[in-house]
Amino acid sequence: MLDTTRVYSYSAVLMGSPILLKLFVSDEALASRVFRLIKHYEDLFTVNRAQSQVMDINHAAGQHPVRVSSPVYALIKCAKAASMLPNSAFNLAIGPLVKRWRIGFRGDSVPPGEDIAHLLTLTDPLQVVLNDADESVYLALPGMEIDLGAIAKGYIADRVRDYLRKEGVEQGLINLGGNVQTLGTPAGNWSIGLKKPFSQAGAMVGTLEIAHKSVVTSGVYERYFEQNGQIYHHILDPHTGYPLDNELDSVTIVSADSIDGDIWTTLMYGMGVEKACAALRARPDIEAIFVTKSKEVILSSSHHYRFTLLDNDYQLIGSTA
């Protein structure tokens, strides 16, 4: 019988993010294989180095299509579909703007308006041309760049879950810098902390109890800089080229697959609370927790998790039934 009172934690830093693996058996070798798997995907998807399969596509922008491996093609196809949703805030072709702002990468000033206006012309997702026949990707305009930063960690978290399952692991958790995916139901479910925005490490607004679910949080407090009292964070509005400005400090998505959580956090940022809750009525499989700047915690619904508020500065809105 597995002892679910004894947790073994393994950590690493990959994709510029703290990575945490929790198991109920001591298995250093398994942990190394999991970290190697994550590194393998990082090497395919990264745009923070000169070479990767995604960078091969970016380097060939305006010149020729590039054949890529099936996981890269599948993820780009999925990211393009999310980008083509009506009024989507998700845009896989946002790369030139992300690179120019450098938010989270020692970027600390607002680019001139004309730079942003010019770069916006290089971010049309329709100009990401996919060919299913040979799994090639072509960026039609020179200077275009794909950026999978808003989706790749979700995809990778799901692959880690699949790998652990294949290895016979029944209970486990992987946290890729805010993208949590879980296996099984250890005694009393998994308890996942919801970070308090702009607070010291460890401060929590509340906790979520879940089983067999992914929990993805995207917040404006993770990567940002301040200029003239204004905060500029890393989730950009693909329609204006500036950080999305709304009532939200963070969005958390509870879903079966982490890739959905990653896509939906970005979509929700674009919608704001009211439209997001309306959109989620058609998706009972996706549930959201919004933390607003006015210190409300709003649950779109909570059928697949239990939320406990821990910080009395915040007001809980929505049913926990």
Q: Which residues bind ligand FAD (CB under 6 A)?
A: 15-17, 42, 45-46, 48, 89-91, 94, 98, 104, 147-150, 152-153, 178, 218, 222-223, 234-236, 238, 262, 265-266
Smaller CB separation from ligand FAD, 81 or 316: 81
Residues 254 and 64: their CA atoms lie apart, in Å, by 39
Residues 55 and 87: their CA atoms lie apart, in Å, by 27
Among 147, 260, 262, 287, binds Mg ion (CB under 5 A): 262
117: left (phi over 0), alpha (psi -120 to 50) or beta: alpha
Residues 8 and 24: their CA atoms lie apart, in Å, by 6
Smaller CB separation from ligand FAD, 171 or 250: 250
Smaller CB separation from ligand FAD, 104 or 143: 104
DSSP-based three-state secondary structure for 139: strand
Q: Which residues have a Cβ under 8 Å from the Cβ of 2 and sit 6 or more positions away?
A: 24, 25, 170, 171
Residues 99 to 158 in contact with Mg ion, rule: CB under 5 A: 150
Smaller CB separation from ligand FAD, 19 or 30: 19
Which residue in 16, 95, 104 sits closest to 58, CA to CA? Answer: 95
Other CB atoms within 10 A of residue 220 CB:
24
Pick one of ligand FAD, Mg ion, none as the site partner of residue 234 (Cβ within 5 to 8 A by kind). Answer: ligand FAD
Smaller CB separation from ligand FAD, 22 or 80: 80
Q: Least separation, in Å, of the C-beta of 208 and ligand FAD?
A: 17
Percent helix, strand and coil across the chain, each to the nearest 5: 30, 25, 45
Other CB atoms within 10 A of residue 260 CB:
22
Smaller CB separation from ligand FAD, 169 or 220: 220
Q: Which residues pair with 176 in a beta bridge?
A: 19, 179
Q: Least separation, in Å, of the C-beta of 20 and Mg ion?
A: 18
- Per-residue contact track with Mg ion, 263 to 292, x per CB under 5 A? --xx--------------------------
Q: Least separation, in Å, of the C-beta of 262 and Mg ion?
A: 4
Q: Which residues of this protein are in contact with Mg ion, per CB under 5 A?
A: 150, 218, 262, 265-266
